[in-house]
Chains A and B, each alone.
Chain A
Amino acid sequence: MDNRELWTALGMDLEKHDEFLAPIPSILKNLFWDRPNRPKAMGYFDAVVGDVHGIRVHELYAMKEAGAKVFSTFCVYVPEEIVVATGSASIGLCAGAQFTVSSGEKVLPRNLCPLIKSTMGFKLDRVCPYFQVSDWVIGETTCDGKKKAWEILNEHIPTYVMELPQKKEAKDARLWDEEVREFASFIERETKVNLTKENLTQGIQTINSKRQALQRLANLRQHSPAPIHGLDVLLINQLSFFDDPVRLAAQVNALCDELDVRVKEGIGVAPVDAPRILVTGTPQPLPAWKLHALIEQAGAVVVGEETCTGERYFKDVTEPADNVSDMLTNIAKRPLKVNCACFTPNTGRMEDITLMAKHLNADAVIDFSLQFCQPYGVESYFVAKEMEKRKIPFLQLESDFSEEDQGQLLTRIEALIEMIRA
């Protein structure tokens, strides 16, 4: 089956999909392929993103033919381990394209986070094969916009919602533990595979290995000169949500081996004095590359992301246990260490940003918020306060997935760089 046959089989709108994919090759060429001095091991990731609606979709389709299910997620809190343990697939969906935002606005208010509108548009337009190949969407209650949008999405694809607590007290941890157990039963029912000590151990190990590989990559970015561009790491972080976890971990480790050599030999992708930027805030889902591209175009290098398409996704691993119930307990514990702005209070995030800035030798922090994201938008106040207290130069930016504000964003980023260099 070639790509077009596959897309037809998945009930996609081929005409619209062609229109959506048309500009992608030139974007990839400009932002990635033509950039000098990239690590050779990026070849794998270039191939995956170069055929982003092909290779992996064929695999998922084949998995389904063999009886497995595909569960789609939008959040780092959803426990992938459980899905992977049953032999089914857990994939994170694309949600960062301007192309689908206007379709999302057919059913959603305009003054809503572009990530939610983009997601909805992908389904309504039938231009995302991952959406089409999915049996279920696993939603969560990280913000009001998503929470209510799931109800609409459920009219188009079965949507299961996990209730994430809003505080981190003992009773909240109990609620989340219960949610994870209910989710485990739901996955067992849907996949007709029971969780056992063996398969869940395997599931935890697979996902932990992926997180550890991504941690290893993140740690390599503390070196100066930076051995890899932030844009390349962002791409890997984005792909890590839906690529095969075992293969991705192996490829990330291979890249890290190459970067180890670069670090040893003092080879970098930017001059030693290039300003080092830590990005914090809302996620940059595929294909939202604008922010990183502009920062690096301005002569700085992004050395870390305190975001869901970065550190929050992989910073903690699930502790092992020797029976299914304890494993589920540990699976539930891990995400509650993640400091998302959906929690109140969320002082842990301020510590995370400060520690990352220190560890990565960041010269400045860019606090990025997607337009209309209430939790991160409001929390920017505390980020600013913390950065001032720590005397870390910082810049607050708000944007969406559109292209037209690149000039304005670049001016602000360049001014920040001039500030650091003055």
Chain B
Amino acid sequence: MKQAGLDLGSVNTKLVVLENGDRIYSQVIPSRFDSVKAGINLLETYAGKYGEKPEKLVVTGYGRVNFPEGRVITEITCQGRGCHDYFPDYAYILDLGGQDSKVIKKSAEGKIVKFIMNDKCAAGTGRFLDVILKGLELTSEELNLAAQAKPMPINSMCTVFAESEVITMLAKGIPKPEVVAGLFKSTAKRLANFIEAVGHPECLIFTGGGAHYNILVSFLERELKGKVVIPPEPELTAALGAALLA
């Protein structure tokens, strides 16, 4: 039997298909402001390849309520389930997605016991980092340099204010790597506070597109004084969880 999980996110839409518990297919495409359409495309592409749609489908993420088929489960429950598959022994999950960030605490059985999500604004979300990094037009070399640089303190967590703070620093001639290091450090600090509002993990599971920033991971480990583990494809865990729940 084939079970599918479709995560309709604000930035990317992801599909994971399992057959008898083993992953046989996964795909990520940009949502382009229409995650429902992206989801339909993903399912069609899959059906074109495998000849039929998966028998069971769970939809999750931002676009889930508008999706025409599948059982609806929130991304919180799905993220918890997906992470539990990789890391059954760790309780805390930080998910840094495009539009929101969340901290989830799960039990030894993989059930959600507590969660919090960021408030309305973009501060502390993947969007915050994307907007500012895009404006900096970083080369991968500069990003690597940032890992060793002395971080400049950035105080604003509002995307708009932080951007203007960054521009001011660059105008003063502060090297880009130092500014970037500061940006990640301040983000890590904010995320650490967010996590500690839920609990104090010795080991944190980090998911979402944000987990791809190695520099953020190392700052986060320093802030939390703990270990951070990342699943192989951190942007796919909610879709995986959805497939497991299907």
Contacts and interface: CB of A to CB of B under 8 A. Distances in A.
Are A and B interaction partners? yes
A415 interface: yes
Contacts of B115: 412, 415, 419
Interface in A220-259: none
Contact of A408 (B65, B73, B116, B120): B120
Nearest to A411: B74
A326 interface: no
Interface in B48-105: 62, 65, 73-77, 100
A235 to B, nearest CB: 25
Contacts of A396: 116
B112 interface: yes
Given A407-B62, A422-B112, A415 B119 contact: no
A51 to B, nearest CB: 34
Nearest to A391: B113
Contacts of B112: 415, 418-419, 422
B108 interface: no
Nearest to B62: A407
A422 B241 CA distance: 14
B23 interface: no
A422 B114 CA distance: 13
Nearest to A381: B197
B77 A422 contact: yes
A283 B65 CA distance: 29
A414 B100 contact: no
Nearest to A405: B120
A408 B62 CA distance: 8
A419 to B, nearest CB: 5
Nearest to B112: A419
A378 to B, nearest CB: 14
A59 interface: no
A418 B242 CA distance: 13
A260 to B, nearest CB: 37
A398 interface: yes
Interface residues of A: mostly helix, strand, loop or mixed?
helix
A418 B116 contact: no
B73 A418 contact: yes
Contacts of A415: 74, 76-77, 112, 115
A410 B117 CA distance: 12
Contacts of B74: 411, 414-415, 418
A407 B113 CA distance: 22
B119 A398 contact: yes
A411 B119 contact: no
Contacts of A408: 100, 117, 120
A112 to B, nearest CB: 16
Interface in A392-418: 396, 398, 405, 407-408, 410-412, 414-415, 418
B130 to A, nearest CB: 19
A415 B115 CA distance: 9
B111 interface: yes
B77 A418 contact: yes
B116 A422 contact: no
The CB with the most chain A CB atoms within 10 A, among B75, B111, B119, is that of B119
A297 to B, nearest CB: 10
Given A407-B62, A418-B76, A412 B111 contact: no
Given A398-B119, A408-B120, A412-B117, A422 B111 contact: yes
A14 to B, nearest CB: 34
Interface string A370-399: 000000000000000000000000001010
Query: Nearest 3 A-B pairs (CB), nearest first?
Result: A415-B76, A415-B74, A418-B77
20 contacts: A405-B120, A407-B65, A408-B100, A410-B65, A411-B74, A411-B76, A412-B76, A412-B115, A414-B74, A415-B112, A415-B115, A418-B73, A418-B76, A418-B77, A418-B112, A419-B77, A419-B113, A419-B115, A422-B77, A422-B111
Interface of A: 396, 398, 405, 407-408, 410-412, 414-415, 418-419, 422
Given A412-B115, A419-B115, 5 more contacts: A396-B116, A412-B76, A418-B74, A422-B77, A422-B112
